[in-house]
Structure 1
Amino acid sequence: MSSATLAGLVGAALVGLGLYGVIADPQPLRKILAFNLIGSGVFLVFGIVARKGAAAGLSADPVPQAMVITGIVVAFAASALAVALTLRLFEETGRATLRPDAGTKPPDDGADAE
């Protein structure tokens, strides 16, 4: 197994682990971390695909490298915004999680209507 194949498999594992974290964990900070894992895995796989294309004899193209660098900068900015919003949520509510029943109306049992 070559190093490029191993790096591609690691990138795919990062995407899978991050996807599991986004779906399974209700904590917002952990979701942000899991989303960053997904992004890192995608950047790694994209870089490996670009490297394998250059190794196959195709002309060297700087566009994939520029896209990965731009993606890293955008992911950093989005992560900073998400953390800032989570801190603001903590300041307003006193907790960093959202209630699962925040948008539901309490059931009316009819006990107060006599």
Structure 2
Amino acid sequence: MTPDLIYGAAGLAVFGIGLWGAIALQDRMRRLLGLKLCSVGAGFVLIVGAWREPPAAPDPMPHALVITGIVVMLSATAAALALIRRLHDLEDADDRP
């Protein structure tokens, strides 16, 4: 097995675990962590897709997409955490007599 095949399979496995977590779990925080795992797995796969044999230069476009994806996922995570906290506060307010 070549390293790119191992990293690609690991990326697909991480993406699959994250997708399962985002779909199957009920807790909002766990769903958010599942989406974060999907992002990491997709980044693995894109980086493996950019890899070339040593004499050739790697393709810079997937690397730029991964960096952009990291920035977007960071801001989306911050917004999702704020929404989760607000929903939690609203649910606690409804439970009070």
Could you say which TM-score interval applies, normalised by the shorter chain?
0.7 to 0.9
SS at structure 2 position matched to 1:94: helix
Q: Taking every aligned residue pair, what percent have the same amino acid on both sides? A: 37
Shift of 1:61: 2.9
Gaps of 5+ in 1: 96-114
State how far apart, in whole Å, the 2-side matches of 1:92 and 1:6 are: 45
Structure with more helix by fraction:
2
What amino acid maps onto 1:27 in structure 2?
A: D
Select 1:70's aligned residue among 59, 68, 71.
Answer: 68
Corresponding residue of 1:44: 44
TM-score, L = length of structure 2:
0.86
Corresponding residue of 2:84: 86
Number of residue pairs aligned between Structure 1 and Structure 2: 93
Query: CA offsets per residue over residues 16-55 of structure 1, 9 Å max, x none?
Result: 101111111011100000011011100100110111xx32
State how far apart, in whole Å, the 1-side matches of 2:78 and 2:30 are: 14
What amino acid maps onto 1:77 in structure 2?
A: S
- Please, what is the CA RMSD of the aligned residues? 1.8
Gaps of 5+ in 2: none
Corresponding residue of 1:107: none
TM-score, L = length of structure 1:
0.74
Highest Rg: 1 or 2?
1
